[in-house]
Structure 1
Amino acid sequence: MFKIRRSEDEGLVTFALSGRIQEEHLPELQKLLEVETQAKSTAITLDLVDVRLVDREAIRFLATCEAQGIMLKNCPSYVREWIETGRGYKQ
């Protein structure tokens, strides 16, 4: 099961993600991020503390988010490693 919780504190919007992040969840998450960036210029963080599993497309998505200035908080070490090693590959 995949869940997204939004919180805001002093101009920082955090989306706490939990469960498994799979390709089928990415359009919903992308839409939330787009709405947030269009609404106001606030910093956005994705908190991955409760993420248990990610697929290849989710890794690419998270790498793209980070490249666009979205902070990844509590990123599991295996996810960080996959982002770092996969960043140079084309989709």
Structure 2
Amino acid sequence: MTLRIVKISDGARTVLKLSGRIQARDIEKLREQMDGLIRGTVLDLQEVTLVDVEVVRFLGLCEAAGVELAHCSPYIREWLFREQVAGEES
């Protein structure tokens, strides 16, 4: 299953409901959907089934910049933590 994005906005907050696989080639599509907005942006990962390392790094950068990662699965959360630690050690 490829990435599916549903964008919901109420003016103050934008939620991108993501489902399926997210691969490195999808990062630009996600950036476009975020419209350069960080504040009030939520990436809902509840229906994400698979990600690759570039996506995990992108999600980590988004979260560090203030994007909320909602319904993040434990395996993605652990991978985010490991990437953060690895980045700090470099």
Name the TM tier (shorter chain).
0.7 to 0.9
Q: How many residues of Structure 1 are paired with residues of Structure 2 in the alignment?
A: 87
Unaligned ranges ≥5, structure 2:
none
* Higher strand content, 1 or 2: 1
Unaligned ranges ≥5, structure 1:
none
**In percent, how many aligned pairs have the same letter?**
35
Paired position in structure 1 for 2:77:
80
Paired position in structure 1 for 2:24:
23
With structure 1 as the length reference, what TM-score do the two structures score? 0.86
Aligned Cα RMSD in Å?
A: 1.8
How far, CA to CA, are the matches of 1:19 and 1:3 in structure 2? 6
With structure 2 as the length reference, what TM-score do the two structures score? 0.87
Match of 1:57 among 50, 54, 57: 54
The runs of at least 4 consecutive aligned structure 1 residues that moved more than 2 Å come to none
How far, CA to CA, are the matches of 1:82 and 1:58 in structure 2? 11
